[in-house]
Amino acid sequence: MQTTHLVIIVLYLLVMVAIGLYFSRSSKVGGGEDFLFAGRRLSTPVMIATLLVTWVGAGSIIGGANFAYHHGPIAGLIFAAGTPLGIVVLILIARRIRRAARHTVPELLEARFGTGVRTVAALVTAVAYVGLVAAQFIGGGYVLALITPLSPTQGALVAAGMVTVLTVTGGLFSVAYTDFISAVLILGVLVASAPMVLLAVGGPTAYWEGLPEAATTPTGGLSVFQMLGYFLPPFLLLLADQNLFQRLAAAKDERSARNSALGMLASSFLVILPVTLLATSAAILMPGINGDESVLRLASDGYLPVALGGVLLAGAVAFVITTGSSFMLSAASNIAFDLFARFGGSRVGDRGTLVVQRVSVVAIAAVAIVLGFYFPTVLDLQMYSYTIYGAAITPAVFAVLFWKRATTAGAVAALVAGAAATIGWEVAGAPGDLNGVVVALPVALVSLVVVSLLTKAPDPRSLEAAGVD
């Protein structure tokens, strides 16, 4: 255990808590709207940071690193390519997202398909996001176990407590400004660490020659369908991620929303490239370790200067806390706005909605802790959670935006079939070592198209209400 590492992380956590307490004041968070959208007055630099850190989190520095560690740099970059490709799509629709300014994605679906679809979508979204919160808790447990006497399980419980406190205090205000600090921290340390670790391997030639033969191929030893099973879930999630939609809706104006998405695209490469290089270098320097810990162990095992290693570990904690807070906040908004407010919450007002959101955050944390210990790695957990959302929600969202013939029955069929196929595939043990998206996405798309064509076309007035030209 490095005392320097521990001191750096403790100082970072104290700063995060201080920011959360500052923004918990009633003058900053006056109700549910402020809690979720930060008053819709976030600046472009803060928007870029919160978009980036909301997305990358443990899914990149732990889950993505695990994939690159086992399958090599080319496969690792292909796996990560879903992020920039998805961001390009977000850039094209960012102005429209900002203009819609809905609280949640299920609320967007309601405008086109009705209340029943909103309720089903809210339940699916909450289930998926609880899994993503759980991934952050487990990732935080890995970091804390490396630098303290805590076990990974104990570390996960501590991380869960930190994420919950930060989220329940200031909402998006505290999350966004801690995201900004975290983004500056982690981007700087990743860029600085990559050349140092490459030198530790022996330079570019020694790096490439040190990789296993399969790790130098485009699929890293996987079949094409297996590779597709890893690429699709993060790509599909990003296309309709409620978290990112809410961040874009929190921008000051439509121009700021689009510029923020452009900034997220550029800065995403400052995460993808270093993480892939660091993880694959760890495969050479430390073969046989837990792939989830590949980047983290470079810091804890002395392959980086102590101070830089401490900042890298603090950056990992930053990713875990801010991403966990974001998904927790987003899932709480589904409970407050899509379920509670629709079924008996209209009398409590905006302050009452705020209370429901904060209580929901605590409940989500409890469920996420239990779910997190069911999956063996962060990568497994994130693939499961990404697929539930991407296979079920994304087709319905894109039907709103691009297919006028889609019907309410078709949307419900896609939501239910996509979620059920994902869960069923996981319960069946992922036959053929294929991730569930390979089955769940086609099932959801076929259900959407077939059921829509077999039912009555939607009223043109519902299309106008949803903003469809």
Please give the chain's pLDDT, 469 residues, in tens: 567 777 887 887 787 767 666 655 544 444 444 444 444 556 677 778 777 777 776 677 888 899 999 999 999 999 998 888 988 887 777 666 656 555 677 877 887 888 888 888 888 888 888 888 888 888 888 888 888 888 888 888 888 887 887 777 655 555 666 777 777 888 888 889 999 999 999 999 999 999 988 899 999 989 999 999 999 988 888 888 777 776 666 666 677 777 888 888 888 898 899 999 999 999 999 998 988 889 989 988 888 888 888 888 887 887 777 777 777 877 887 777 777 766 655 555 556 666 777 787 888 888 888 887 777 677 777 788 888 888 989 999 888 878 888 899 999 999 999 999 998 998 888 888 888 899 999 999 999 999 999 998 887 765 665 555 5
Residue 111 identity? A
Which helix (DSSP H) or strand (DSSP E) does residue 384 occupy? helix 378-402
Please identify which residue in the block is written with the tokens 């209580």. Answer: 359
CB count within 10 Å of CB 459 equals: 9
CB count within 10 Å of CB 178 equals: 27
Q: How far, in Å, CA of 191 to CA of 34, rounded?
A: 34
Whole-number Cα distances in Å, 263 to 60, 215, 237, 430: 18, 31, 19, 37
Residue 212 identity? P
By the 8 A CB rule, do 141 and 159 touch? yes
End-to-end CA distance of the chain: 60
Token pair in block for residue 32? 């549910």
DSSP state of 406: -
Q: How far, in Å, CA of 382 to CA of 132, rounded?
A: 6
By the 8 A CB rule, do 66 and 294 touch? yes
The domains found in the chain, sorted by start residue, are 3-379 (1.20.1730.10)
